[in-house]
Structure 1
Amino acid sequence: MSDYKPLSDYGIIGNLETCALVGRDGAIDWCCLPRLNSSSVFAALLDDEIGGRFAIHPDGEYEAEQQYMERTNVLQTTFHTESGTARVTDFMPLSPDNDGNQPKVRGIYRNVTCTEGSVDLAVEFDPRFDYARADSRVESISDGIVATGDARRLTLSSPLDLDCDDSAADGTLSLSEYDSEWFVLEYGTRAPTGDDSCEHLLDNTVEFWRDWAHDCPDGEDCPFADYGHDMVVRSDLTLKLLTYQGTGGITAAPTTSLPEVVGGVRNWDYRYNWLRDGAFTVRAFGNLGDTEEAVDYLDDFLELGQSVDPADLQPIYGLQHGSTYEEQELDHLEGYRGSAPVRIGNGAADQLQLGIYGELVLAINQLSWSDRSIAGDDWEAVRDIVDYVCEVWERPDAGIWEMRSGPKQFVHSKAMCWVCLLYTS
């Protein structure tokens, strides 16, 4: 079996449309473009041999460590070698005036800086479009590489001339102390690649995250003070990364097919918005004062509740609602550490899960604590949900565990039906 990294060796970056997982070895092993639920461009996470990656690491032995810039989702990987130290800073641009709009610049920005001595960095650019199913090609251009496949196109701006074969490019970048260079992976639109522009985008992205992140004003008590505070802030920043600005949706995870148990078969595609999990996240946002994210999410689903009958509410939705849910197994990928099958799509969309109604009502109850009023058509949608729960609460369902062996009676489902009535009576 190939040498897969522990999942704890990955950091995450993103732009509220998609995310990328960056290993402590400097490899982007998972990324779907342009959105989180698009097909993958890099999927070495699910097949170390053919999945594809974008790696930058020392050419030789090294030790590495990762950390985020304080109160941001800007990731820094530091490499220590015998000859020197180098740092890779990874981010996807956002700006302080983004405010619910789509990112103004779409790209993955990777800055490499030698902070001590000298370091030779090996660069490997190996995109494999459409979960490594498409015919992926790379070719040199004047300032980098163009990659094509599955009717898509990526452009990598590179400070060195990379050697190309048909499907991948590589090279070695030699840095001396204080040297700093930028790699920019563009998709969708042309992205700025000049050094000053890249630095400006980094500054803006840091400002965006620090403006958003939970902090504790001087003189005010923080309910998350003491030893757990930094972990709460990091968790909050990660949850924010899983929100989708276009709809306010919240994805359960940025990945598919990571196994519950290594070698097992319960490997599901979690790049969907579970009503239940979204409701959990809304309550966490509310407790942390992130009212805007909670309101955006619940506004979206209150609007959905007005447009469909409660019996037709699905347990999960795509981030754009109109997603494909049909499950497929990708037999050509071996899965993380050999955990097959790799799946895309999720059949849970067709299940009856009675617990979702109570979770939604709990989240709406928390929303009522904010300045957002619940009235008119919103209350009618909630009333229709309550009436429906009164009709069906005794029915067997798939439950919180989404059992695929047929509907059963689950205590949790009954309890959440009771919660639905309790918080609306």
Structure 2
Amino acid sequence: MAVAESDAYPPIEAYGVVGNRETCALVAPDGSIDWFPFPHLESPSIFAAILDADRGGRFRVAPTDAFETAQRYVDDTNVLETTFYADGGTATVTDFLPPADRTDHPRKVLYRKAACTDGAVDLAVELEPRFEYGRAETAIEPVEQGILTAGAEERTLLESPIDLEIDDGRATGESSLEAGETAWFLLRCTGSEDATTDPEAALAETIEYWSDWVHSCGPDDDCAFEGPWHEQVVRSQLVLKLLTHAETGAIAAAPTTSLPEDIGGVRNWDYRFNWLRDAGFTVQALLNLGTVEEASDYFDWFMDRCRAADPATIQPLYGLHGESDLEERELDHLAGYRGSRPVRIGNGAAEQRQLDVYGELLLAVDEMRQHGRVLDDDEWERIRDVVDYVRDVWDEPDAGIWEVRGGEKQFVYSNVMCWVALDRGIEIAVERGGDAPLAAWRETREAIRTDVLENGYDEAVGAFVQSYGSDALDATGLLLPLVGFLPFDDDRVRGTIDAIERELGDDDVFVSRYDGDDGLPGEEGAFVLCSCWLVDALALSGRVEAAQSRFESLLEYLNPLGLFAEEIDPTTGAYLGNYPQAFSHIGIVNSALYLGYVRGAETSGPPPMGIRLGEPAVSLGE
């Protein structure tokens, strides 16, 4: 339990998130919805107080008196409860949106149920919509059903059980609840104004939807995720499902934009898109969680991107509907989270060249193949084209996986992933009967390997470095054995793991992405996913106790809801970057998976790629 945050900007880790698999809303511990893009994650916001406390807009339901507050999810769901403990009593606000692939209730309705459970509580309601990121003129007026607001294109209708007064673009009011009494506030968004709904039924069916879907196992099941972190894995699964677009199967990196990696700095990016680089590790996590349908939908989505484009024009990221035009723009009128400017929409990285993407795509294809997916002729043709393209361009510089803005380089990880594209392409071609220029592919695969070993490993550093000619370390070096480039017991691999743990690690918990220049001012925090990669590398190289200790220490930094942002400030534990972050939760799932395997757990499918391909230096079950 925490005292309600008095700062205009609550800590990032203080927020809860709800959504309908089309969009998400962030709920502060004081009952304020401070972020809500509509109708989709990539759409302009209706509420954006998290990016500008004065101009962004919010929708708040909370006690009028001083209170303490706590948030929790209804077990195994994405239904959020915020409980207020005031002097006169206790009240809980339950927030949810019905999932988009359930048709029983309109999905474009944000439900807020206020219930007094003890004593009596006076509630204040504040509705302050600001359409188009606060740029559009907002009309607000009372109507018979409640309060109607409208921007240039979108509109909302707030159904309220109490009368609200309108003043200076806001609707406000108060309501008194005694124990056992409830009040429903329904924010109907464009397209749902005339739909009928039963709020209690909508709540019950939304809870049922999530609890029926989520991973479960009994005490006698041999679950690969067994261990004290099972609950955290389940929450990570729920986060990934929440960020999965119901219509296309694409998974957003995060539901937010411009939450800073450096408070007050310029490292503020829009993450409401899908990065193809996430494909391999995402598919592995989904398949091993048993969410085969979601993995297949995501696979089909990114294969469609390959069908729609020449390999040379495949982008690092796309909109959740497949949009390729993600022009990066700055919203100068917004102050930014705690003064972190500029606020950006769109992402210029879509125009970068990132050669590692092709290897990550082939990792995902291979993972699906290992789980029984048979490629049709059209899919194989697209994959073959990708491998042929990689064969021609693997030795050219690019922007790298971290999308540095300091100029293209010959990144070691990009070259290794080009090797992966050739390696997995060869395996698939052999399985299909050799329908590919195998001799040429094998020649290029060996050329890449030789080049990386000669130019990517620095004898003086004792590790693989970030780029050719550099002595900077990069956490992606931890992935070389995981993808099968070298075995875990190779001295160069062990040296790389040790160097990254020593130079990029912090307090036996965190790992930074790299220590080289990236062309941007300021410093970022420790990267949650990289911290998970070190756990994986330690576990599979035989240092199981150290891996488990690191993992359990990392999980202590999860917020009370079980959510992670992209980064963490190692000094304060504060969250940094967009939130909640899919890549962070994918890391949690896969680290739990590897730790489960090295401790002897099994699943019905094949072993995960790090065990199948990386020749672990530990016997399973030791």
Normalising by the smaller structure, the TM-score range is over 0.9
2:54 counterpart letter in structure 1:
E
Q: Which residue of 2 aligns with 1:235?
A: 236
Q: Which residue of 2 aligns with 1:125?
A: 127
> 1:183 is matched with which residue: 162, 185, 189?
185
Q: Is the 8 A contact 1:2 1:48 kept in 2?
A: no
Q: For 1:387-402, what aligned pairs fall within 5 Å after superposition?
A: 387-402=388-403
Structure 2 residues without counterparts, runs of 5 or longer? 1-5, 427-622
Deviations 1:241-269 (CA, angstroms, capped at 9, x unpaired): 11111211111110001111111101011
Deviations 1:149-183 (CA, angstroms, capped at 9, x unpaired): 12221100001001102411011111011001100
Higher strand share: 1
1:37 counterpart letter in structure 2:
E
- Deviation larger for 183-192 or 160-169: 183-192
2:373 is the alignment partner of 1:366? no
- In 2, distance between residues paired with 1:384 and 1:328? 33
Q: Which residue of 2 aligns with 1:67?
A: 72
- In 1, distance between residues paired with 2:195 and 2:111? 9
Deviations 1:275-309 (CA, angstroms, capped at 9, x unpaired): 01244322211121111111111112212212311
1:68 counterpart letter in structure 2:
Y
- In 2, distance between residues paired with 1:103 and 1:397? 47
Q: Is the 8 A contact 1:51 1:333 kept in 2?
A: yes
Q: Which residue of 2 aligns with 1:382?
A: 383
Instruction: Please give the secondary structure, in 2, of the residue aligned with 1:368.
Output: helix
Q: Which residue of 2 aligns with 1:256?
A: 257
Q: Which residue of 1 aligns with 2:12?
A: 7
2:87 is the alignment partner of 1:82? yes
Please report how far the alpha carbon of residue 191 of structure 1 lies from its aligned counterpart in structure 2 after TM superposition.
5.6
Q: Is the 8 A contact 1:282 1:363 kept in 2?
A: yes
Distance 1:281 1:21, change over 3 A: same
Please report how far the alpha carbon of residue 218 of structure 1 lies from its aligned counterpart in structure 2 after TM superposition.
5.4
Q: Which residue of 1 aligns with 2:513?
A: none
Higher helix share: 2
- In 1, distance between residues paired with 2:34 and 2:76? 24
Q: Is the 8 A contact 1:71 1:233 kept in 2?
A: yes
- TM, length-normalised to structure 2: 0.66
- In 2, distance between residues paired with 1:372 and 1:102? 33
Deviations 1:85-114 (CA, angstroms, capped at 9, x unpaired): 00000000138xx37x89843110000000
Distance 1:237 1:374, change over 3 A: same
Q: Report the RMSD for the aligned CA atoms in angstroms.
A: 1.8
Q: Which residue of 1 aligns with 2:436?
A: none
Q: Is the 8 A contact 2:305 2:322 kept in 1?
A: no
- In 1, distance between residues paired with 2:60 and 2:279? 33
Instruction: Please give the secondary structure, in 2, of the residue aligned with 1:372.
Output: coil
Distance 1:37 1:102, change over 3 A: farther
- In 2, distance between residues paired with 1:352 and 1:184? 45
- In 2, distance between residues paired with 1:325 and 1:111? 37
- Deviation larger for 329-338 or 102-111: 102-111
Q: For 1:20-169, what aligned pairs fall within 5 Å after superposition?
A: 20-94=25-99, 98=101, 104-169=106-171
Q: Is the 8 A contact 1:303 1:378 kept in 2?
A: no
Instruction: Please give the secondary structure, in 2, of the residue aligned with 1:41.
Output: strand
- In 1, distance between residues paired with 2:308 and 2:325? 19
Q: Is the 8 A contact 1:94 1:201 kept in 2?
A: no
Please report how far the alpha carbon of residue 137 of structure 1 lies from its aligned counterpart in structure 2 after TM superposition.
1.9
- In 2, distance between residues paired with 1:120 and 1:193? 30
Please report how far the alpha carbon of residue 359 of structure 1 lies from its aligned counterpart in structure 2 after TM superposition.
0.8
- Deviation larger for 221-230 or 154-163: 221-230
Q: Is the 8 A contact 1:138 1:165 kept in 2?
A: no
Q: Which residue of 2 aligns with 1:411?
A: 412
1:356 counterpart letter in structure 2:
V
- In 1, distance between residues paired with 2:223 and 2:20? 28
- In 2, distance between residues paired with 1:126 and 1:323? 33
Q: Is the 8 A contact 1:102 1:246 kept in 2?
A: no
Instruction: Please give the secondary structure, in 1, of the residue aligned with 2:26.
Output: strand
- In 1, distance between residues paired with 2:398 and 2:27? 38
1:55 counterpart letter in structure 2:
R
- TM, length-normalised to structure 1: 0.95
Instruction: Please give the secondary structure, in 1, of the residue aligned with 2:36.
Output: strand
- In 1, distance between residues paired with 2:332 and 2:134? 11
- Deviation larger for 55-64 or 219-228: 219-228
Q: Is the 8 A contact 1:139 1:166 kept in 2?
A: no
Distance 1:363 1:70, change over 3 A: same
> 1:173 is matched with which residue: 175, 187, 199?
175
Deviations 1:320-343 (CA, angstroms, capped at 9, x unpaired): 123541111111111001100000
- Work out which of the two has the higher radius of gyration on C-alpha atoms and give 1 or 2: 2
Q: Which residue of 2 aligns with 1:308?
A: 309
- Deviation larger for 317-326 or 282-291: 317-326
Q: Is the 8 A contact 1:17 1:36 kept in 2?
A: yes
Q: For 1:346-361, what aligned pairs fall within 5 Å after superposition?
A: 346-361=347-362
Please report how far the alpha carbon of residue 366 of structure 1 lies from its aligned counterpart in structure 2 after TM superposition.
1.1
Q: Is the 8 A contact 2:106 2:192 kept in 1?
A: no
- In 2, distance between residues paired with 1:156 and 1:369? 49
- In 2, distance between residues paired with 1:323 and 1:174? 50
Structure 1 residues without counterparts, runs of 5 or longer? none
Deviations 1:118-158 (CA, angstroms, capped at 9, x unpaired): 00011110000000011112111123100111222110000
Q: Is the 8 A contact 1:11 1:21 kept in 2?
A: yes
Q: Is the 8 A contact 1:55 1:123 kept in 2?
A: yes
